[in-house]
Structures are given as structure tokens and as C-alpha cells.
Amino acid sequence: KSPEAKAKAFVEALPEALSPLGGLQPYELVIGKTKIFARAGVMNLLDKARDIALSGYTVDIQRVWRGYAARKTLASCKEVFDELKQWCSRNNFYQQPGSDHTAVAKLNTPAAVSAEVRVLQELLVRAEKLPLPVPRRKEVEKVMQRMQNEVKEITNLKAISKTTDPMEIEKALNRLKDLELPKTAEAAELADRLEKLKIQLPLVKAMQLA
């Protein structure tokens, strides 16, 4: 089609296209040799029609974006929660009483226990940013706290390895007992020293008073 024919077709179709907005009369548009002349009211209708057309695309874009964002968030939740599930399965401690079911007994060293605690802490930090609550969070944090206590008390044994204070030794051994920690060489040595101190200290005191 020639440009003139296209312009004529456009002008003829425009009243029907703008009818939802109130329409227009044929005389409100005039085709010139090189331009189409329109009244101000027609231009206002065209601006409104453009805004409506663009709003439709905007709604579609927002809908697609919200769907993408929701899928991405759910994928992040699944990833973190799956890692938490694996951590719980790997660190399934304290299900039964006894020293055989402690973290140190199963992981062998305080360093290994601390490493697992750090992994869990990092997972919980990531979980804090998610919109969904962490499954079994209180239970998981309780396990983590007990693991930290195990490391703390075992480390404390080394710190008091040379002490001659019977009360300090007895308190440390009682904390180990409360945590059901397995007997170690350090604990056995401190227990032996405690028994000797219970005998030696009264003798020393008696000699000093003599």
C-alpha cells in the first residue's frame, strides 16, 4: 500500500479503536498531503490509549518478575533447608543417654566439633535472610549449644591441667559428668590429682599449724 492509503486506513480505523475511551468523530481528523491533522481532544485520547496499552505490558512484566522472584526465593529456601537436613543427619547426637552419643565421641576431636558448629552457624545466618521459618530451629540450636559446651569443657581441662586447686578440679570434672563426656587421659589425670590433693592438703595444713 502507498503511504496515502495507509494513512487513510489508519484514520478510518481510529474511531473504532478509540471507542472504549469515548470515540471520536470523523471530522476531528483530516488527512493532509504529508500530515494528519487532529484536534486537541483527539491527541488526549491517543495519549490515554497509549497509557492503557503500556500499562498492560507493565502488568505482564510485573507478573512475570514476581513469579521469577518467588521461584528464586523458594529455590534458595530449598537449598538452605536441604543443607540443614544433611547437617542434622550428619550430627545426630544426644538421641540416647551416655558418653557414646556425644559429639566428641563421634567426631573424635574438639576441633572437628567446632568445625561442624561453624557450618551450622553459617547455615543459620543464611536462613535468617529467607522468608520462611527454619524447621526445628530450637532443637537444632539446642544441639549446637551442647556441642559448644563440650568443646568449652574439654578445652578448660587443658587450661587447668597444672592447677592444685581441688575445688576448681572438682567443678570441671562435674561439668564433664553432666555433659556425659567420655573419659579422657586429661580427665583421668585430674581425677587422680584430686584424690591425692584431698589427702595431701590436710597434711600440709596440719604441718603448718604444728
- What does 108-144 look like in DSSP terms, one character per residue? -SHHHHHHHHHHHHHHHHHHHTSSSPPTTHHHHHHHH
Dihedral pair phi/psi, residue 44, rounded to 5°: -65, -40
Q: Give the pairing type, strands 29-31 and 36-38.
A: antiparallel
pLDDT value, residue 201: 65
> How many residues are there in the chain?
210
Pick 40 or 180 by higher pLDDT.
Answer: 180
Whether the per-residue pLDDT at 66 is higher than 60: the answer is yes
pLDDT tens for each residue of 71-127:
998 999 999 999 999 999 999 999 999 999 999 999 999 999 999 999 999 999 999
**For 141-174, what is each residue's pLDDT tens digit?**
999 999 999 999 999 988 888 888 888 988 999 9
Least confident of 14-18, 99-103, 106-110, 205-209: 205-209
Q: Which residue, 195, 157, 185, 150, is CA-closest to 173?
A: 157
Helix (H, G, I), strand (E, B) or coil at 180: coil
Amino acid at 158: K
Note whether 102 and 94 are within 8 A (CB). Answer: yes
What pLDDT score does 160 carry?
87
pLDDT for residue 187: 86
The reported pLDDT for the residue numbered 77 is: 93
97 vs 36 pLDDT, higher one: 97
Mean pLDDT is highest, among 13-27, 66-80, 195-209, for 66-80
By three-state DSSP, how is residue 37 classified?
strand
CA dihedral 194, 195, 196, 201 (to 10 degrees): 70
- Between 15 and 191, where is the model more confident? 191
Q: What angle do CA 29, 34, 39 make, to 5 degrees?
A: 25
Of 182, 144, 159, 185, nearest to 172 by C-alpha is: 159
Residues contacting residue 42 through CB under 8 Å, at least 6 positions apart: 24, 28, 29
The answer to whether 132 touches 85, Cβ cutoff 8 Å, is no
